[in-house]
Amino acid sequence: MWLQWAAILGAGFWAGMINVVVGSGTLVSFPVLLLCGYPPLVANISNNIGLVGGNLSGTFGYRRELRDQRGAARVLLPASTAGGIVGAVLLLVLPAEAFKTIVPALIAAGVLMVAAGPIVQRRAARRHRADGGTGEAPAPRLAAVAVGIFALGVYGGYFGAAQGILVVGLMSLLTSESMQSLTAIKNLLVASVNTIAAITFMLVAWGSIDWPAVLLIALGATLGGVVGARFGRRLSPTLIRALIVAIGTAAIVNLVFFQ
């Protein structure tokens, strides 16, 4: 039991730190909960609630980068929040068996997104250099981003693995912001989705929440968010992605062959 708790706490810490820097921490903490024997739906809901603290602490850590994104935030934050509500409701309305069936595919998709992260980042860097600096996107382009952010909010409220990478990928295609600015707005949007989904779950799915797991994930993720915002940029992206791919693959094998 103590070993299991330590594993969940450590997974929460890594997830909180990775969410701030890369944006795919769910692919660490969620599979660890599965490997510890939690049912997929309970693991997903408990993990979502637990990661809120890390999302908020990471967003606070990037507050300086967010100052130049106030205009975009006023448009994208409501879209992201609305999507999170829709996704959370879908998770609760659709049969639990449907979620259990699709989880391996969702984890696999998230792992592939993580592996493709360097390509997305290089594209964003080239676009930033070509446009000659930063600057908020024009209104039509920002509207297109808002539609995409709403769709990613739905995905985030339903499952959320690698949502941050998708946000960075979308905005890198449609804006010329620097990677630090994209990371800051990504942290804010993901935090909004996770928070609204967590509130929804606590209101209408209390029986599907494992509170000891939530507390362990929350403690680890909050500390991880602080560390990620202050020191996470020094970590090797290759090492982080390798860890995510390894744990995600182990979870897929466990679900497909042993559940």
Domain boundaries, the chain: 2-258
Instruction: Flag whether the pTM goes above 0.75.
Output: yes
pLDDT truncated to tens, each residue of the chain (259 aa)? 789 999 999 999 999 988 887 777 888 899 899 999 999 999 999 999 999 998 898 888 888 888 877 878 888 999 999 999 999 999 999 887 777 788 788 778 777 766 776 676 666 666 656 655 545 555 677 788 899 999 999 989 998 777 887 787 777 766 666 667 778 888 899 999 999 999 999 999 999 999 999 999 999 999 998 888 887 656 666 776 676 677 677 777 766 776 5
Q: How far apart are CA 202 and CA 218, in angstroms?
A: 15
Contact 80, 189 (CB under 8 A): yes
Backbone angles phi, psi at 132, to 5 degrees: 75, 25
Q: How far apart are CA 101 and CA 153, in angstroms?
A: 21
Amino acid letter for position 7: A
